[in-house]
Every structure is written in C-alpha cells, then in structure tokens.
Chains A and B, each alone.
Chain A
Amino acid sequence: MILKILLAGDGGQGIQTIAEIICRAAFQKNWHVSYIPNYGLEQRGGVSLSFIQISDKVIGYSKFTTPDILLIMSEQARARVKNYESGIMNYDVKDYAQKLEEQKIGKSSYNIFFLGLLVKYLEEKNVLKKEEVYELLEKKLGKKLNWEENKSIFQTCTL
C-alpha cells in the first residue's frame, strides 16, 4: 500500500503544521512515512506545498506528480498544482465555501477543518487513529489562543 497526499495552500495557512501532524500520527502507526515541504523563495505569502507519502514499504523518492489525495486551500495554490492530478480524493476550498460559512470557521482555522476531513478519511482507511492525531494537535496548539475553537472544529469534522 502506498498513499500519496499533496497539500497545497498559501504560506501562513498552516499547511506544514497539519502535514507534520498527519505524518507523525502515521509514523506512530509504524508506517513508512516521507514528507517534504516545498515553498517559493518568499518568506511570506508564497504557495506552500506538502508532499506526503505513507506506505508499508520503504519510500524511495519524496516527490510525486500523481497524488491520491489532493488538498487545495487557496486560489494561488490551485494554479500551482494544476498539473497534479488527484486519483482518489480531492478537497478544494472552493467546494466547501458554504460549509465553512455555515460553521462560522475563521480563515485561520481552515487548516484544522481540512485536517479533520483528511483524518476522517485516513482513519476509515486504517492509516492512523483520530485520537492520536488529536493528542498531537493538542500538544501543538493546546496553548494557543483559539484552541477551544480549533478543538471543536476538529472534533466536528472527524465525527
């Protein structure tokens, strides 16, 4: 089994934060995991990509062009990944506009919303455990200001 996940967003949207959490949770489940971040030259505001692979075999190369799961979190990111075709799942922020508004999710928490969706899928596929992701998330963001809000977003999305 090999699962290739490409996360794409704007710098500052917290793409690498959720990538790191997904990878660590998969690592804890003893998978082979490979993760490489990619951004432009800009220190701020460029496109931020995470190339993640989770496999039962040693992973030979960290980049890929055919992700199984693709997450797009911004306009700029959509343009950047237009040549990457997703095989199984496609999460695009534009398809979730209504849902995000209904649930009153602030821009700074979009990453947690999508983390929830990804984790829900990955748990169904027995890749990782929601509880373990939650622990990692709490460790990372538990002391931040909007933790209660993020916590509830994550829990709602993974239900």
Chain B
Amino acid sequence: MAENLAKFCAGCGYPITLMMLNKTLEKLDLQKRAVLGLDIGCALLAWNFLPINTFQTHHGRVAPTMMGFKRARNNSICFALVGDGGAYAIGLQSLIHAAKRDEPITVIVANNTVYGMTGGQTAPTTLCGQVTPTSPKGNIEEPFHGPEMLKGVIKDGAFLARTAVNEPKQLQEFLQKAIETQQAGHFSLVEVLSFCPTNWKTNGVDTINKLNGLKDIFELGIL
C-alpha cells in the first residue's frame, strides 16, 4: 500500500495513522483529490509515503499553507499532518484561527507527548513529571489539551475528536467523519495519541502500556 519504504523508526505510530488515512481515502474514492501537507517534525518523513499528492512545509506552518491551498482549489481534500509541537506550540496561533474561521481543512495531530524528530524534548502535551532532555527534573507543567481548547472557538458543523493509533476502528471512523466535515465545508481536527518508543525508550509492552495510560489523561472520543 505504501508508495515507498517508510523512513519512520521501528515501532513509530505515524505509519499506522497514514495507512488508516489512505484506507479511508480509498474507501471514499478520494485519493486523486487528496493533498497532504506536512509540518516539519517526524511528519515530514511521510513526503513520499502515500500514493497521493504530498509536500513538506515549515515547522508550525502546515495549517496556513493548506488553508491557502484549499481556498485556491475548492474540490481538493486537504490534510495538514502535524505533531503536537507543530500544532500546539509553534503553530498554535494559526491553528486557532483556522478553527475560528472554520477553514474546511482536516488537521491530523500526532500526539506522542514529545518532540520526536529532535530527540524527545518537552512538548506542550508532555505530562507533568515526565522527564525529557529539556525537562531533566521532570516537566512542571500540566499537558495541553488541544481539541478541548479549540472547542471554544469552532463553529457549528466543525469536527474535533481524539483517538489513538491502537484504536484502528475509531481512528478510521474519525478520519472519515473529518473528511465528510471538510466536504461539508467545515474545519476538522483529529488528534491521534501515538507512540514514540525511540524517545520514550520503551520496549514493546511498555510502549503499549504507556500509550494506554495516556488515554486516562487525554480522553478519547468526539468533543
């Protein structure tokens, strides 16, 4: 299914999300109209992964780029794939305003609580107490809940949801809903709890356990 061999680390959550996206597009027969914009961070590794139009942008800038694309080509189905840092730190201003304006794009946020590509530094979603290279004594802040915050600015018809890479049925369901929302002319965002064994420094079992533990802090479902 993948166009090219994945450059993601072994055990990364991103390919699961991307495969699900592709499956959903296939099901809806939308691959030809799909355009995937990538933020900088691990998302950029998806540049030749799927058989759909794909390009890389800058860190934090994928949402406004896809907004510009969508407004220029109305019949395209635009996706902004971004990590938790790109979405909720460096790109937050644009994300809030895209949601506020009800831009008909679909933002897919991979939340693995760390900055994966640069070595696992603290993200806005890092848990309180979590040790990272930039929080050596443990993070002192509470994690940021993106979809919950956006709930306050979206318009009727928009779609906000959270799921996880090990909830394939729900992931696919939410992605489909997000696409349908975009087709109806509204903003959609799906946050996907994802794992990063490389930076979490976890084995297989611990990786799954940690991911499942995140579900207690970041509630799954439609907001």
Is there a contact between chains A and B in the complex with CB atoms less than 8 Å apart? no
